[in-house]
Amino acid sequence: MSKRLVVIVSLLFFSLSLVSALTSPSQSRPKSQKDLIRALPDKYRKWLEEEVVYISSEKEKDVFLRLENDRQRDIFIEAFWKQRDPNPNTPENEFKEEHYRRLQYANQHFGKESPGPGWRSDMGKIYIMLGEPKSIEKFENLYDLYPTIIWFYQGMAEYGLPNAFSVVFYKPDGTGEYKLYSPIKDGPMKLMPHYSGDMTSYAVAFGKLADIEPNVAKVSLSLIEGEPLTDLVPSISSDVLLNQKIPAAPTYKVRSTYAEKLFRYQDIIEVEYTANYIDSDALVSVYQSPGGIYYVHYLIEPKKLSLERNDNNYQTTIVINGIVTDTNNQQVYQFDRRIPLNLRGDQVSSIRNRQMSFQDVFPLVPGKYRLSILFKNFVSKEFTSLETTLNIPERQLQMSPVLLSTRLSRSSQYRGLNKAFLLNDLQFMPTPRNDFVLGDRMYAFFQVWGLTPELRNQGSLNYEVVRENGEVIKAFSKKLSEYTEGNVFYEEFVLEGWTPANYTLRVNLQDGNNNVLLTEKTNFFISHLPTIPRSWVMTQPVDGDNSATVQYALGLQYWNKKDTARARRYLETAHKKDPTNPALALDYCRLLFSENQFQEVLNTALLFINQGQQEFLEIVGQAFQAQQQYQQAINYYQQYLAHFGTNVNVLNAIGECYYQLGDAEEALYAWEKSLQIEPNQDKIKARVKALKEKKK
pLDDT of residue 31: 53
Helix (H/G/I), strand (E/B), else coil: 692: helix
Other beta carbons within 10 angstroms of residue 474's beta carbon come to 14
Give the H/E segment covering residue 308: strand 308-310
Q: Is the pLDDT of residue 237 over 70?
A: yes
- Domains of the chain plus CATH, in order, are 133-250 (no CATH), 396-543 (2.60.40.1930), 565-695 (1.25.40.10)
Residues 460, 503 contacting (CB under 8 angstroms): no
pTM for this entry: 0.80
CA atoms of 651 and 589, how far apart (whole Å): 21
How far apart CA 294 and CA 364 sit, in angstroms, is 6
Q: What b/e readout covers 224-247, taking b as 16+ CB neighbours within 10 angstroms?
A: beeeeeeeebbbebbeebbeebbe
> How many other β-carbons are positioned within 10 Å of the β-carbon of residue 482?
9
pLDDT (mean) for 142-149: 95
Termini Cα distance of the chain: 72
CB 19 within 8 A of CB 331: yes
Res 394 pLDDT > 50: yes
Mean pLDDT for the stretch of residues 87-116: 91
SS3 113: coil
Contact (Cβ atoms closer than 8 angstroms) between residue 241 and residue 161: yes
Q: How far is CA 585 from the centre of its chain?
A: 35
> To the nearest whole percent, how much of the chain has pLDDT over 70?
96
Mean pLDDT of 144-164: 96
**pLDDT score for 384:** 95
- pLDDT-based confidence at residue 12 (cuts at 50, 70, 90): very low
> Can you tell me the mean pLDDT for 88-100?
91
Q: Identify the band that residue 199 occupies on the pLDDT scale cut at 50, 70 and 90.
A: confident
Residue type, 655: G
More confident residue, 396 or 178: 178
pLDDT, average across residues 646-660: 96
Q: Tell me the C-alpha distance between 307 and 317, whole Å.
A: 9
Residue predicted with more confidence, 224 or 272: 224
- To the nearest whole number, what is the mean pLDDT of the chain? 91
Q: What residue type is 131 in one-letter code?
A: G
Torsion-angle region of residue 662: left (phi > 0), alpha (psi -120 to 50) or beta? left
The 3-state DSSP class for residue 530 equals coil
Structure confidence by residue, pLDDT tens digits, 410-426: 877 888 889 999 999 99
Q: What is the pLDDT, as a whole number, of residue 5?
A: 30
Please, are residues 392 and 364 in contact by the beta-carbon 8 Å criterion? yes
Please report the pLDDT score of residue 300 as a whole number: 97
pLDDT higher than 50, residue 29: no
Sign, Cα dihedral of 177, 182, 186, 187: positive
Residue 15 has pLDDT above 70, yes or no: no
Q: For 523-560, how does the pLDDT look when each residue is reduced to its tens digit (9 = 90+)?
A: 999 999 999 999 999 998 989 999 999 999 999 999 99
pLDDT band per the 50, 70, 90 thresholds, residue 189: very high
Inform me whether the pLDDT recorded for 18 exceeds 50: no
Average pLDDT over residues 342-350: 92
What does the pLDDT average to over 104-117?
92
Q: Contact at 8 Å (CB) between 51 and 106? A: no
DSSP state for residue 164 in the 8-state scheme: E
- 153: number of Cβ within 10 Å: 24
Which has more pLDDT, 25 or 383?
383
pLDDT (mean) for 341-364? 93
- Please give the single-letter amino acid code of residue 358: F
Residue 223 contacts by C-beta under 8 Å, 6 or more apart in sequence? 165, 166, 167, 168, 183, 235, 238, 241, 242
Higher pLDDT, 599 or 228: 599
The amino acid at residue 424 is N
Given a cut of 90, whether residue 11 has pLDDT beyond it is: no
Residue 20 has what pLDDT?
A: 41
Q: Which residues pair with 523 in a beta bridge?
A: 504
Cα–Cα distance for residue pair 69/84, rounded to 1 Å: 23
341 pairs with which residues across the strands? Answer: 316
Strand partners, 475: 464
pLDDT of the residue at 113: 86
